[in-house]
Amino acid sequence: MKTFNDAVSLIREFLRIDTTNPPGNEEAAALFLEDILTREGLDAEIHAGAPRRANIISRIKGREKGKPIILLGHTDVVPAREEEWTVHPFSGDVKDGYVYGRGAIDMKAQVICQLLAFIDLAHRGVVPKRDMIFLATCDEEVGGAQGMEFMLRKLPELGDASFVLSEGGNLIDEDGLVHAQVSVTEKKLSQFIVKAKGRGGHGSMPHGDSANEKIVEASHRILSHRWPFKATPVTSAYLGNILEGRRIGQAKFPGLKEALKIPGWKRLLEGNEIYSAILRNTVTLTILRGGEKVNVIPAESSATFDARLLPTETHERFFKKVRQLAGEDVVIERIGEKVSGPGPSRYNTVYFQGIRNCITSLKGQVPVLPFVTTGATDLRYFRDIGIPSYGFFPVTLTKEEHMRMHAKDERISLENISEGLEGCRTIVDFLASGSVL
């Protein structure tokens, strides 16, 4: 049986492999995971979507044919600016009870906990009902063309899965109140570039046809727009449970739909970054380009936006509004959009109930709620073809720890690693049991 110490040292080693995407170089990560699997007597196959962009898959044969269950993870990470961190982002250093490193939360610790639970299942000689697949993909952070998208083409049986478990939800500790977010859907990625052209010229002679001014004005209009709050069935179930019994003055929480009509409740929801992000489209200006020299008016400039739409929003409706806000002086180009953004996975399933039972057995009676992930994950590929897919890693994070994902000093506590390993084992045992579909 793999121990907590095994998990910690493997997570630290994994964090030391720099899989910053772009460019990715996830081959090193796939070879690292392959080495662990083969040392433990399991088979592994590597499939590269492009040179040095490798995915890895391993399988435990089940009693019944077809409809495998997939433990999915990704091996790439987003860039880290070393100068902002207090430790080197690829050191895997342990400090004050935390393992630091880019990817600690998103999602190398989860990949290792899922892997060790998978290996333990094989070592215990458990024959699962369905084939159990461990899959770690590359390229998730940049859309998945070389990763999940490539693997679904290469191994069509993945598209026949009965269930997929990956990232997107955790146990959250909000001021001592713990609840579990089991992600059943996610915001839709809708990124775009606004481009402007104008006349170049000397900075001393403004002529009113400046690319930079057009970009600033269009961006300002886009960013000033208040996208309306909308309740969806998943957010109503999630926030309805969390806010039940809360009061503003004398007034009890009236349910999400009603609360969105009342200024006091709207302010409360708006004041919480997570609530606010799951209730509306968000539009964030992430890259600005224009000009190189203080006395030269540039002829071209651009602004790049990262927008995340509510699962019920359409790209068409969204872009119609963005174009209208941006005005006639600029052009808008969408950035790569392959998966349209499917509806939520159902959560009245044996999988949701089974995961709820696992959480209850580990944590007692905490609320286990369907959740909408604000980021995009590889699970959208499976939801797009109607396979129930949940994002959940059974570790208890505070909001502060959660916000370190993609930010500086990303880390995971040793306590979380212990929780994650035990939790993944419990969930994987359930997924191997006869109660799955």
Q: Which residues bind Zn ion (CB under 5 A)?
A: 106-107, 167
Tokens matching residue 196: 């402007």
Whole-number Å distance between alpha carbons of 365 and 362 = 9
Three-state secondary-structure class, residue 182: strand
What residue type is 345 in one-letter code?
Answer: S
Q: Which residues are tagged catalytic?
A: 76, 140
Whole-number Å distance between alpha carbons of 289 and 194 = 10
Whole-number Å distance between alpha carbons of 36 and 391 = 24
Residue number closest to Zn ion, CB atom: 106
Tokens matching residue 12: 């630290």
Whole-number Å distance between alpha carbons of 265 and 222 = 25
Q: What is the DSSP string of 343-388?
A: -PPPSSSHHHHHHHHHHHHHHSS--EEEEEESS--THHHHHHTT--
What φ, ψ does residue 183 adopt, rounded to 5°? -75, 125
What residue type is 351 in one-letter code?
Answer: Y
Q: Quick count: other Cβ atoms within 10 Å of Cβ 153?
A: 11
User: CA neighbours within 13 Å on the CB side: how many for 375?
Assistant: 17
Chain-centroid distance of CA 332 in Å reads 26
